[in-house]
Amino acid sequence: MLPESSIPGIAHAQPRKRPHGLFKSRGGTWITSLSVLVSLLALLPIAFVIGVSWQIGWAQIEALVWRPRVGELLVNTVLLVLFTLPLCVALGIALAWLTERSNLPGRRAWSLLAVAPLAVPAFVHSYAWVSLVPSIHGLPAGVLVSVIAYFPFLYLPVAATLRRLDPAIEDVAESLGLKPWAVFWRVVLPQLRLAICGGALLVGLHLLAEYGLYAMIRFDTFTTAIFDQFKSTFNGPAANMLAAVLALCCLAMLTAEASARGHARYARVGSGSAREQRIVRLSPLLTVLALGLQAVTCVLALGVPLFTLGKWLIAGGREVWQFSELLPALEQTVLLGIAGAVLTTCAAVPIAWLSIRAPGRLQRILESCNYITSSLPGIVVALALVTVTIHFARPIYQTTITVLLAYLLMFLPRALVSLRAGIAQAPVELENMARSLGRSPGRALWLITMRLAAPAAAAGAALVFLAITNELTATLLLAPNGTRTLATGFWAMTSEIDYAAAAPYALIMILLSLPLTGLLYHQSKRTAGR
Amino acid sequence: MNALELTALCKTFGTQQALADVSLAVPNGSRMVIVGPSGSGKTTLLRMIAGFEFPDSGSLTLNGQVLVDATHAVPAHQRQIGYVPQDGALFPHMTVADNIGFGLAAKHTSRHARIAELMDSVALDANMARRWPHELSGGQQQRVALARALAQQPRLMLLDEPFSALDTGLRSAMRKMVARLLSDAGITTILVTHDQSEALSFADQLAVMRQGRLVQSGRPMDLYQYPADEQTALFLGEAVVMPARIEAGWAHCALGRVPVDSQANQGTTRIMLRPEQLLLSSTEGSGCRGVVTEREFGGNTCTLTVALQADEDVPGQAIPVRSSGLQAPNVGSVVHLTTVGLAHVLKKTAALSLS
């Protein structure tokens, strides 16, 4: 039916069946199906929550949920959030303003020190405090350690946004007769709203999800209660129902953040590059107070963990360095981290590619599936995977595959955000170019777009790796017998109150996290936002 | 023989009709320029030929091979069609040599020689081979993009406004170089541009597009002299358009009696003259009288605005007239205009004159 081609080189060029549907190439259809698959997987924990509620039935749900124990947990959780969030927000804004907008001596160093606590896993923070002040417990302890462990989540986006604000807007406000304080309240603070909301959401979700931190200081939250329940009754309805309530709390928090964020978009209007930020000169008294705030924060957030670790390491001497146990734990952690990071990054590729190259309603739905799941606590994801694998996929129950799946569900957005930024920097025209030079769509994607997005993908993979290194809850619940990562090894030691033997594990975790925390700091200097 | 044949191509994006029933034949070895204002669908057409977009209906044939029809489509990578976009789109992670060699077989023994040959053909110095794209000037980037597209010995070369990012002097030099290079290689070329002067100078075949439709195609000189309608006339260059009454090959208009190119037309219509067809004459009594109202000095030529005065008192139509820059009459002086050649009788096309 086709006339013979006159040029021998293209004699193989058989016309394909005309592509139809959403994406006009075979590659596009493949990518769409893959991203739908990943997103369906992401819906698993939600399906689990709905499924168990359905199975248990309303009468028993009532019996399990309307009891004093649940009320007590709810009060604990709400109080924790209500005290911790405002403190984190205030501390984050104060430190960010001081390091970005004032002439505080050593601003750069303070700025790095404000991010550094992220390298210390939350449960190591609370280990440090418990061994420093053994009597510490309950709500005040919970609030103290939470603020210290999580305030960088607010500092980072707020500082990045402050750096990018157009100083001309503040100049205009001042020229309209506003005093400096009024300028801050009426012009600067409203522009920080997105950063504050994003950071506060992140902190809030951590408060709901964290297990190790609160278990160590004997403060009961939903997560610790579910964990205990799971330990005593395994996969029982009580644990599942608590998980459902916890999931609801998370969804409520997501909704609250979305409505607080509103529809506002704060973008610079107009062209040309913004001028340098104006630096406020602090009075001597204020300088002393500011330095005091920075120093106290630094001592609490870095000094205490480092001091305690140092104390235990010295006290433990050479005996605590049990290399026959430490090295396998390090190896397993690194292997799990690399495998999880690679898997998660690969799974994020189709969704990231779609969101840049073919944005639409389908892609937005797929993306929000992944965000919702990753906002669910690790313990809910773990319970869901336990239930599903026991009932439907017995062969992979308590295998590394399940652990990696949990990492994928929990940390996909970290890879997604980076990857999306990377792909956005590779213009579609380059991919087209490669196709016109004879490369198939798949090859063009790999040779050009993926190659150009590689640095961003690596950054995303590093963030996932960091998260996996410090992951405790899901690993404890899902890992096959004999698995001992740095985090679970540390946990096993502290559970035996062998704080000295736990110290090397904590030190290695911190050292592993440090370069990646540096990367996070570096990234935030370039991009503001969540 | 025609290398490329487009038949009844249609394409809509949402509610926006990008291409409406476009048919065009491109003769073998010719340099076809598709010109039109932005949003006219010319880039969509080019991307469709390259295989980056697919038409809703219609067909596309290259050297007798069907590239797209109602049931089948050859994907871009099997078309062997060269493409040079506006910004060059060099791969930022590859050196100049790797960019040029991208379309060549990786293990080919003569790869190095071929890259050197291609660089030489686009007048790039051999020591540029190891440079990175960001170290090149705009003109050099375009040369690399051209060499890269030439490497695969394309059956057809597509150029999407390749000179518009360059500055004026470089632009015409590049244009000449590219035109000569492609002619020597005998490669059929399609260039898309919104710049009419570039279109007229590069093309040996010209096609004018507007609002997704192909308005007119043919030799550049023909389109310039005999445009299909008033909009095309104005798009291809400055024009004097005025109402006229046609009688037996002569138009009676504000310029007096002017010979026209059409014997068939009778009655009232509109005629078009290019400004260079109007000559200033100092001789009293010859041609038509007018007053210079504006003078725009432009170096070697000076553009005058002359208000025609058929009657002594009523100010007539103001028309542009070219004059040598040094001898241009002052504002307010009375001049006489004579015409050269034939005036073109415009067709009455209401359908397309939306703007």
Instruction: Write down all domains in chain A, each with its CATH number in brackets.
Output: 23-45+310-530 (1.10.3720.10), 67-220 (1.10.3720.10)
Contacts for B347-355: CB closer than 8 Å, 24+ residues apart: B347/B228, B347/B229, B348/B269, B348/B270, B349/B228, B349/B229, B352/B210, B352/B211, B352/B213, B352/B215, B352/B229, B352/B231, B353/B229, B353/B230, B353/B231, B354/B211, B355/B231
Q: Which residues of B touch A436 (CB under 8 A)?
A: 50-52, 76-77, 79, 81-83, 149
The three state secondary structure string of B7-32 is EEEEEEECCEEEEEEEEEEEECCCEE
Amino acid found at A449: T
DSSP H or E segment with residue A334: helix A323-357
DSSP H or E segment with residue B226: none
C-alpha distance from B122 to closest chain A C-alpha (Å): 18
Please report which confidence band the pLDDT of residue B354 belongs to, taking 50, 70 and 90 as the band edges. very low
Please report which confidence band the pLDDT of residue B219 belongs to, taking 50, 70 and 90 as the band edges. very high
Structure tokens at B189: 């070329």
- Residue B15 makes CB contacts below 8 A (sequence gap 6+) with none
pLDDT value of position B33:
95
A-to-B residue pairs, Cβ atoms closer than 8 angstroms: 109
ipTM: 0.75
Q: Looking at the complex, does the CB of residue B21 fall below 8 Å from at least one CB of chain A?
A: no
pLDDT value of position B352:
43
Q: Looking at the complex, does the CB of residue B59 fall below 8 Å from at least one CB of chain A?
A: no
Q: What's the sign of the alpha-carbon dihedral A229, A234, A236, A242?
A: positive
pLDDT value of position A94:
94
E-state strands within A394-524: none
Over residues B277-316, the pLDDT tens digits come to 888 876 666 678 888 888 888 877 888 888 887 655 556 7
Q: Which residues of B touch A361 (CB under 8 A)?
A: none
With an 8 Å Cβ cutoff, are B93 and A451 in contact?
yes
Closest CB to A15 among B63, B74, B93: B74
DSSP code at position B277: G
With an 8 Å Cβ cutoff, are B91 and A433 in contact?
yes
Q: Please identify among residues 16-75 of chain A the ones whose CB lies closer than 8 Å to any CB of chain B.
A: 16-19, 24-25
Contacts for A103-111: CB closer than 8 Å, 24+ residues apart: A103/A279, A103/A280, A103/A281, A103/A282, A104/A282, A104/A287, A104/A290, A104/A291, A104/A294, A105/A287, A105/A291, A110/A294, A110/A298, A111/A159, A111/A521
Please report which confidence band the pLDDT of residue A263 belongs to, taking 50, 70 and 90 as the band edges. low
C-alpha distance from A454 to closest chain B C-alpha (Å): 11
What average pLDDT score do residues B66-92 get? 88
With an 8 Å Cβ cutoff, are A10 and B78 in contact?
yes
Please report which confidence band the pLDDT of residue A78 belongs to, taking 50, 70 and 90 as the band edges. very high
With an 8 Å Cβ cutoff, are B66 and A2 in contact?
yes
DSSP H or E segment with residue A79: helix A68-101
**DSSP letter for each residue of B90-145:** --TTS-HHHHHHTTS-TT-TTHHHHHHHHHHHTT--GGGTT--GGGS-HHHHHHHH
Closest CB to A18 among B71, B81, B85: B71
Please report which confidence band the pLDDT of residue A9 belongs to, taking 50, 70 and 90 as the band edges. very low
d(CA A394, CA A402): 11
| Sheet containing B213-218: order of strands | B81-84, B156-160, B189-193, B31-35, B205-210, B213-218
The yes-or-no verdict on residue A447 having pLDDT over 60 is yes
What average pLDDT score do residues A348-366 get? 82
With an 8 Å Cβ cutoff, are A13 and B74 in contact?
yes
Structure tokens at B257: 């009696």
Judge contact between A517 and A182, C-beta under 8 A.
no
d(CA A516, CA B266): 83
pLDDT value of position B146:
92
With an 8 Å Cβ cutoff, are B72 and A16 in contact?
yes
pLDDT value of position B65:
92
Using DSSP's 3-state secondary structure scheme, residue B78 falls into helix
Closest CB to A440 among B65, B73, B77: B77
Q: Looking at the complex, does the CB of residue B148 fall below 8 Å from at least one CB of chain A?
A: yes
Closest CA to B234 of B215, B247, B254: B215
Judge contact between A376 and A205, C-beta under 8 A.
no
pLDDT value of position A3:
37
The yes-or-no verdict on residue A281 having pLDDT over 90 is no
Amino acid found at A72: E
Q: Looking at the complex, does the CB of residue A10 fall below 8 Å from at least one CB of chain B?
A: yes
Over residues B155-204, the pLDDT tens digits come to 999 999 888 878 888 888 889 999 999 999 899 999 999 988 889 989 99
DSSP H or E segment with residue B288: strand B288-298
pLDDT value of position A4:
35
Closest CA to A113 of A103, A97, A124, A99: A99
CA atoms within 13 A on the CB side of B171: 16
Amino acid found at A92: G
With an 8 Å Cβ cutoff, are A24 and B54 in contact?
yes
Structure tokens at B157: 């070369």
Closest CB to B73 among A12, A18, A452: A18
**DSSP letter for each residue of B297-320:** EETTEEEEEEEE-SSSSS---EEE
Angle, helices A499-526 vs A122-132, to 10°: value is 130
d(CA B229, CA B53): 30
Q: Tokens 């004018």 belong to which residue?
A: B208
The yes-or-no verdict on residue A337 having pLDDT over 90 is yes
Q: Looking at the complex, does the CB of residue B155 fall below 8 Å from at least one CB of chain A?
A: yes
pLDDT value of position A526:
62
Please report which confidence band the pLDDT of residue A108 belongs to, taking 50, 70 and 90 as the band edges. confident
Closest CB to A433 among B65, B74, B89: B89
What average pLDDT score do residues A218-224 get? 89
B-interface mutation test, from A430, A436, A443, A449, most B Cβ less than 10 A away: A436
With an 8 Å Cβ cutoff, are B83 and A432 in contact?
yes
A-interface mutation test, from B80, B132, B160, B188, most A Cβ less than 10 A away: B80
Percent of chain B's residues with pLDDT above 90: 35
Q: Which residues of B touch A452 (CB under 8 A)?
A: 92-93
d(CA B194, CA A201): 50
d(CA B217, CA A434): 31
pLDDT value of position B105:
76
Residue B71 burial (CB count, 10 A): 10
Q: Looking at the complex, does the CB of residue B83 fall below 8 Å from at least one CB of chain A?
A: yes
pLDDT value of position A264:
54
Nearest Cα residue in chain B from A448: B91
d(CA A205, CA A380): 13
d(CA A127, CA A144): 13
Provide the mean pLDDT of chain B: 86
d(CA A25, CA A17): 10
pLDDT value of position A8:
38
What average pLDDT score do residues A507-512 get? 91
Judge contact between B65 and A8, C-beta under 8 A.
no
Q: Which residues of B touch A431 (CB under 8 A)?
A: none
B-interface mutation test, from A16, A25, A431, A433, most B Cβ less than 10 A away: A433
Over residues A86-102, the pLDDT tens digits come to 999 999 999 999 998 88
Q: What's the sign of the alpha-carbon dihedral A245, A234, A490, A127?
A: positive
Closest CB to B80 among A9, A14, A15: A9
Nearest Cα residue in chain A from B104: A437
With an 8 Å Cβ cutoff, are B78 and A441 in contact?
no
d(CA B236, CA B230): 10
Closest CA to A133 of A218, A71, A203: A218
Closest CA to B278 of B350, B335, B208: B335
Angle, helices A44-56 vs A378-392, to 10°: value is 70
With an 8 Å Cβ cutoff, are B72 and A18 in contact?
yes
Closest CA to B145 of B178, B105, B110: B178
Closest CB to B65 among A3, A435, A451: A3
The yes-or-no verdict on residue A348 having pLDDT over 50 is yes
The yes-or-no verdict on residue A530 having pLDDT over 50 is no
Helical segments of A210-283, H only: 212-216, 222-233, 237-261
For chain B, domains (ranges, CATH) are 2-225 (3.40.50.300), 235-345 (2.40.50.140)
With an 8 Å Cβ cutoff, are A437 and B103 in contact?
yes
The three state secondary structure string of A125-191 is HHHHHHHHCCCCCHHHHHHHHHHHHHCHHHHHHHHHHHHHCCHHHHHHHHHCCCCHHHHHHHHHHHH
pLDDT value of position B293:
87
Q: Which residues pair with B296 in a beta bridge?
A: B303
Please report which confidence band the pLDDT of residue A28 belongs to, taking 50, 70 and 90 as the band edges. low
pLDDT value of position A17:
52
Q: Which residues pair with B278 in a beta bridge?
A: B339
pLDDT value of position A404:
93
pLDDT value of position A280:
81
pLDDT value of position A33:
84
